[in-house]
Every structure is written in C-alpha cells, then in structure tokens.
Structure 1
C-alpha cells in the first residue's frame, strides 16, 4: 500500500535538510525526506580539503555540465552539485557568507515581498552557530545554536595573511566581519568548520532529526515525477537503487528542494513548465509555466596564479606526491595542516562600478597553485605544482547574464541541458576584467612583492582587454553557485515560478524551497542564503510568525570596527 505522510521533502540539501528538520520538530507531523545521494559519513566529506576531490567525482557529485559556452572557448564547464546527504553543503568549500543587504532588498523590490534584508536578518541569526565571541560577532547580528557553523580559521596561513595586508596596501579597508550587511574590503573568511571537520547541514540538522520517529528518510533514490490530481500535487514517485518503483502521498504539501539544476527538471518531468518544450519532450502539460528553467545564473570565476620565491611557505608540497600522505597522517592525528584547509582563506570585496549599491567583485585566495590547464581544459584531476605558489580567483557577484535549463528527454535519469551563458552581457566581461587587474595589483604590493617570483596565469604580457578576455575564455569556470531557475516574485509576472510564499503558481500543495527561487544571485557564496530559504520555508508551511524583526544600525562596518580589524591583522 502507498504510504501517506503530512509532508514530503524532495532533496536533503542545505534548504531541504533544514526544512525537513524544522517540520519534524513537532511529533504531530509525519515527514518523508527523499535524497538521491548516500550518507555524509565519509572521510572525504568530513575532511575539509576533501572538497577538491569530491566536486567532480561521480560518487559525490551529480556530474552536471554546461553546453559549450561561447565566452569560455566553447568549453563545457563543470557544475558540481552534491550527491550526499546534505547536498552541496557536504561537498562545498565551507565558506560562510550571507550576501549584501542590497541583494535581499532587491529581491523584495522585484516582487519577493517578505524577503528584504530586515526581514531575513533574524533568519540568518537563527540559523547560525557562531563560534567566536569577539565584539564583531556578538548579538544581535550573529547567533548561536543554529545548523550552520560560522568559525574563524584556526590557523590562517602566512601567505593568506600577506594577501590581506597587500589588499589593504592596494587601498582596501580591513574587514573583520563580511556578514555585517555590506561586505567591503579585505580579510579572512569565516568557515563552516568545527574541530578540524566540516560542519554542515547534514551533521547539524538532518542527522539529529533522523532520530525522530516521525521523520523517515530514503537515500539513494531517483525521484521521477510529482503526481497531480487536477491542479493539486498529491504524490511523489521514485526509483530505488535496484530500479524498484515506489510512491508516497502527501496529506498537506510536497516541498521540492532539489536545487537550481534539478528542481526545474523535476517540475518539467511532472508536466509543469513551458508548454511547447514539454510537448516537444513528449510530456503531458499539466501547468504551462514559462519561467521554469529560465533566469538561470552562476558566478563565473577565473583562477589566477603566481609562482612564489623558493622557500616561501606554500601548501604545494603538502598537497603533492609524498606530501599528500604526510598531510593526511597529520590530519588524522591532529585535525590540522593542509587537509584542514577550506576552499579559500583570503577574501576581498570591492567595486568595479561606483554607481552600484553593493560591491560587485569578490576574490578568493589560497596559498597553493596547480595545473589549471589540465583541470579546466581537459578534465584531468587538479594537481598542485612542484614549486611554491598562490592563487587568487575573482568573480562578479551579481552577473547580468542569464542562462536556461531544458530537458534532453523525458527520462528522469538523463541530466538536463544547461546553458549558463557566462559573460554574455558586456557588463559582466567589464567587471571581471576589473577583478583580474585588481588581483594583479594586490600581488604587486609590498606585503606580497617580496614573496612573488612571477605571475604565471595570466602572464604579465597580456594587458589589453581582448588579450585578457581570450585568456579568461580558457581558464574561467563555475563558482558552483547555480541559482534562479524557479524565480520567486509577483504572481502577475508571467516568468515567476513561485510566489513569495514559495507556492508554485497554478499548483496547490506544492512549493519550491532552494537556491532556484532566488530572483538573482547574492553577493558571494550561496550556502548560508539557501539554509535561510529552508528555514523561512518552514515558517511559511507551518503558518508560524517570523522571528522578531531587527533594526539595522551598521554595527561592525563603521570606522571603529575597521580600526579594530586593521590592528588585528597587523
């Protein structure tokens, strides 16, 4: 007999895992959580540097890639999406960034009423587990006890600290807290690490919730469609690993949280999407919804590298050859060293356009360099270089270019066709060029100049816009922040997929709650915002009032805080 639940959550990622945990807090709700991946209990998942091996491994990532991208030398670009409990929060770079106040105020202005910064700040506080007690991280702007750990780097690398000083020497303010509502200047990221291990939604929200008798989970399943009766979503159908077919019904609601690449695909497989495309795929049209799969966005990131002078401390040797074994042993014994490193330590936000109300460029930096050519251009595994090196990678935080996702067929096993259209808008190319030139300028400052032997990517002789854009086309990749493909907004807008309460237009009993609902990208990494989407979705579903509103007074971003941060960096 078909099982019946109150709520069925599809996808145990950052948003879905948070949502399922919240819904199951009350024993009166029977919740089913469906996840395509396996358990998060794995050394590569828990070991911070494991992210580099997981993002393109079929054991840990779904294997999405774009169609050939015109501004990336017609290369197909990898789009990692997590295939483990916890979704992409189990394979990501563990960076804790919320975004800019202007991002969320813009969401509200675009029709996502209730999603302004003032309204979302209490959710960011509630979902955070801040590990630092310093003034800049105190309440009311930060919180403890939430599912998302925010922690300072336990042992920042000397080269990362030199990057911070060099950026300040290049004219940027020092910034201690990039989550103060307006990330600005140079500093070190906070990260989702605790005791030398990844601290994710899987470990902090889903795993504790799985001990509740009213939450059932099914892992390593492939959801094939959402069943509708008329215009009401009533059931979910899936296959298990052996090909067996199963289904369950929802008394109240179905919550789709499969992410920006798989939520629109599943809607279309269920007959919800652009009618002409669905008919072309041989799928019966249940609801003609033009915006499904449109408005797709991602950050286009370009890694730049420098060869450091002999003897400069760098992690290249620790992540190459015999050094890998020594680093792994050190990690297993102490939870420290190269294997305890997140995807980035150095951070910088700055503007390429003074007319914008937010800083539109973000730089990631690490004390390591590698074979970008093999990784980007031929799909080989990333290998660190034999000499000491460092990397800085800029991207534009809110691209103007928009992509599109479409089905390849009506088979749920086949990944969708993705055209991200990176850099199609001239404004995006201009902004990224500014970011590349600023990173080169940072490397020339006194704090780094004595450590750097030569810039290796791009070589210094490439100076003109055309020369640099040609180089960018060969080296650009995804920032792993796909979003926007089921856009939230005003119901009167024909391209809106979900209304501000996350309900799918024209379908009762169905909501989407993940990064796909973002009207546009946030100014930085997307994981924290995705967790907030899941948390707010729980309140919307359960009819609960939002957390108490908070008044913004610029705490942490004033001159006093900058002076304190500068002194701490000295």
Structure 2
C-alpha cells in the first residue's frame, strides 16, 4: 500500500531539516523526510573538531570526485558532501557566515525580485541564537547556535590578527554585524561544545511530532510526475523499492550535487541528453545542472618557531589530556574548528566591497597519509596555514547524471579558473598572503615558508602554483538556479520548478550566485524563507 503525505522532502540536509521542522509545526501537515544516509548520532560528528575524521568517511559522506580539471593542472577535486542526517552541516568546518548584504542585492537585481538584503536579513535573525556580545543586529532566540570563539582560539591567532592590522586591514569583532569587512576570529555553529548542525538545531526537536516521518538510508530513484504535476517519489529502502504520494508538494533538498541529479533521474533536464541515457524526458529543462559555482582557495604553509596546535594534537599524552578536558568541560581545542581566524577584506583599495576571504589555521597535516585528514595525525613540528579564497568567482561549471542508476555518482565539471579574471583574483590573494606573512606580527613567529616556498616568487610562478595547488573550499551551489526567466533558471523566486506543479527545490542549488564566505548559513536562511512561503501558500 502506498502511503500518502502532504509534503515529501527529499534530503535531510541543512535545508531539509529546517523544512521538516517548520512545516510540521502546523499539525495539519503530514511530512515525509527521506535521507539517503543514516543517523548523525556519532561521536566524531558531535565533537566539533571531529570533522577531520568524517572528511573521508563514506559512512556519512558522498565523497565525490570531480572530473579532471584543466584549470587545476589536470587534477580532479575532492568534494565531501554530507550523507547523513544534517547533511553537510554534520561534517563541515562549522564556520558561520551570513554573506555580504550586497550579495543578496545582486540576487534581487539578477531576476530574483524580493531577494535583496532587506528581505533576507530578518530570517538570519530569526534562525540565530547568537552566543556573543549582545547586538540588536543578531538573533538571540533562534534554533541555530552561533558561538563567538574569541576567548578560546589558539594564541597564535593573535599574531595573525596583529599582522593583518599592521598591513592596514581593520579588526572586526562581528563580521556578521554592521559590516562584513575586516579580520577576526571565526564564529562557529557550536552549542556548549557540541556541533550545532541543522539536524541538532531543527530536526531533533521535531522528531517527536506525530505528523513527521523520517526515513534514513532511503535512496530516491525518481520523482513521480503525472500530467506535469509531482505526485510522489519512488525510493529504495531496506532492500525494497517503495513509493510515497504527496498530496500537496514534493520538495527536493538534496544539495547542489544531488538535487539536479534527482531532477534528471526524474526526466527533468536537457531532453536530448536524457533520451541518450534512456530516460523519457518529462520536461525539457537544460538549465538543470548548469551554473555550477564553488569557492576555490589556496593555503600557504609556514613552519613556526613556537608551539602551534600541532604541538597539542600530535603527542599521545596531550591527546589524552585534551580528550579528558573535552569530556569534562566541553572545552578546549576539540570544541573548536581548525579554521580559527580569518576575515573578509579588499585586496586593493579600488574594490567596492570585500573580495577575499582569509583563513588562519594554527595547524598543518602535510605528513598525514594520502586520503586522510585525521585530527590526531597532524605534523610532528609546529606549523600553521594561511589561506585565501576569492569571494565571487566568475568561472562556471556543470554536472550531469551518467546513467539512470541513482547510485552512479554524477559527472562533475566545476570549470575552475576557466575565466582569466579568476586567476588574477587568486594571484592578488596570494600576494596578500605574502604581505601578511612579512608583517612583524607574523614574521616573528615564522621559521620558514614550507609551501610553496620562497623559490616561488614571480607572477608566472605564482600562477603556476595556483593551478597546481588550489583546492575546493567545498561551497558548490547554483545548479538549480533561481530566477523568473525559465530560459535561464530552474525554479522561480518561490522555489517552484518552472513548468511543473507541486514541486520545489530548496537548498544551495538555487543560489543565483555564490555568496561571500561559507554558505551553510545562507542555505539555512533560504530554507527558513522557503518554509514561510510554503506555509503561506498552504493557508491560501
């Protein structure tokens, strides 16, 4: 017997958890939430620094690999994506960034009316529980805990912040407040020493509701569509193929990789390509999978002449002490991200707004075995990383299914550095890193530059190093672009799929352009706003 619900949500990631909570707050709505992964009740998910353990863990991670990228000197790029309750919010670095207000004004100007900063800012306040200096600009009673780490970061971060100010960059105590520009400690989604994922913040509080059904280890094969209306889904669970019906809507929240995959598997995509794969096209929507964007970054590694976090995380006896401290107090380095400080700055005064994100991490793991990122196998010498990523890359890529089999990973082609302006942006970024490292605040703690090393100095050498070493910052988005024009987008500004009824997409895939900084906060904001729209439509 096929069970019926009002709403079916595909994907219990950052967006899906928000939707499940908000939609079931109205007891009239029966909601089915399907997640391809399993439970997030795992020690290394709960412990904030444990994302080093989940980075390659296929039990909770899709562990995607892109195709060979010309812009990366013939390398592929590793893309961790959460396959677990909470999605990527359960395995990410927890850095919380709203984005630049101008990013959203850009959205509004790009065929997304109603998505300017003044419209989205209230949703950031609604979702936040800010654990820092009280501010009327920050939310205080929302589900998502956002913690100020300024009193807990490693002492080496002070040298970075000093150097930044010596270089003319201002100190900003709250880059999510009145202004984004400046350097400071990163705010993270942690509550009382535990990861505050979307699952913990939104889904767990709702799981006791009788009108919410959560099914894990459920792989969606396709959305069922009848007379151009989404009527349900077909999915695999427990060795069987099952179907569920949606009386009101099917909402795809599977992320920037899996949402376009689900659409294409359902016959929604480029018609000719779907026919070639043996999938009958339901809707010719060539924009599905296009407009792929991601932040690309690069790190410079420095050996230090004084203790870094390596000195604490490497020795076995120190690991025991740190573990005991965490278990007893929920404090110490295990309760933090390794990206402890950074900021948003202009690489030159001619910029109208910050165009670079900086990262300072008081540890390195260059000697760790290939394919691992363990928190206990940091390098056996004191060292730190100084990184940069341009905020608004111009390069665009695409992704597509390879076959009708939902277990086949999609073909992912990010198009990194395919626009020359992006190469020059990266070049200005690495020049900024070198300038910071030369300031007294940092130079006094640097024994040597290890990567790429001082021998790499001229612009041509620096560009070559960028192509050889740049890596994804893991912010893919844009593959089901939002917009009013169906020829240029997949969903309208209310998340409805153009050309179909009863179907929406809500997650990072709808971003018209990538926001400045880490995107988990903006994804949750988008889902909060989508929830309001969906409930308003339901009430009408």
Alignment TM class, shorter chain as reference: over 0.9
Of 250, 257, 274, the residue aligned with 1:254 is 250
- Aligned equivalent of 1:439: 433
- Aligned equivalent of 2:410: 416
Normalised by the length of structure 1, the TM-score is 0.91
Of 189, 192, 200, the residue aligned with 1:192 is 189
- Aligned equivalent of 2:362: 367
- Cα shift at 1:20: 1.1
- Aligned equivalent of 1:565: none
- Aligned equivalent of 2:337: 342
- Cα shift at 1:355: 5.4
Matches within 5 A, 1:119-268: 119-132=119-132, 134=133, 137-139=134-136, 141-153=137-149, 154-180=151-177, 182-240=179-237, 242-268=238-264
| CA displacement 1:362-421 (0-9 Å, x = unmatched) | 01111112217x67xx53445421110111110011110001001111100111010011
Of 456, 465, 468, the residue aligned with 1:471 is 465
**Gap change, CA 1:355 and 1:206, over 3 Å in 2:** same
Unmatched tracts of structure 2, length 5 or more: none
Q: Distance in 2 between matches of 1:24 and 1:339?
A: 34
| CA displacement 1:495-528 (0-9 Å, x = unmatched) | 2100001100001000000000000100000001
Q: Is the 1:343–1:366 contact (alpha carbons within 8 Å) kept by the matching residues of 2?
A: yes
Q: Distance in 2 between matches of 1:341 and 1:443?
A: 24
Unmatched tracts of structure 1, length 5 or more: 546-570
- Cα shift at 1:181: 5.6
Q: Distance in 2 between matches of 1:58 and 1:181?
A: 40
- Aligned equivalent of 2:513: 520
- Aligned equivalent of 1:55: 55
- Cα shift at 1:470: 2.1
| CA displacement 1:298-341 (0-9 Å, x = unmatched) | 111112110001xx131113222524444333322332223222
Q: Distance in 2 between matches of 1:432 and 1:540?
A: 39
**Gap change, CA 1:353 and 1:249, over 3 Å in 2:** farther
281-290 vs 151-160, which deviates more?
Answer: 151-160
Q: Distance in 1 between matches of 2:442 and 2:38?
A: 43
Instruction: State the number of aligned residues.
Output: 534
| CA displacement 1:225-269 (0-9 Å, x = unmatched) | 0000020000111101x3211111011011110000000000000
Q: Distance in 2 between matches of 1:284 and 1:384?
A: 50
Alpha-carbon RMSD: 1.6
- Aligned equivalent of 2:322: 327
Q: Is the 1:56–1:78 contact (alpha carbons within 8 Å) kept by the matching residues of 2?
A: no
Q: Is the 2:4–2:245 contact (alpha carbons within 8 Å) kept by the matching residues of 1?
A: yes
**Gap change, CA 1:48 and 1:380, over 3 Å in 2:** closer
| CA displacement 1:10-41 (0-9 Å, x = unmatched) | 11111111011000001111111111111111
Partner SS, residue 65 of structure 2 = coil
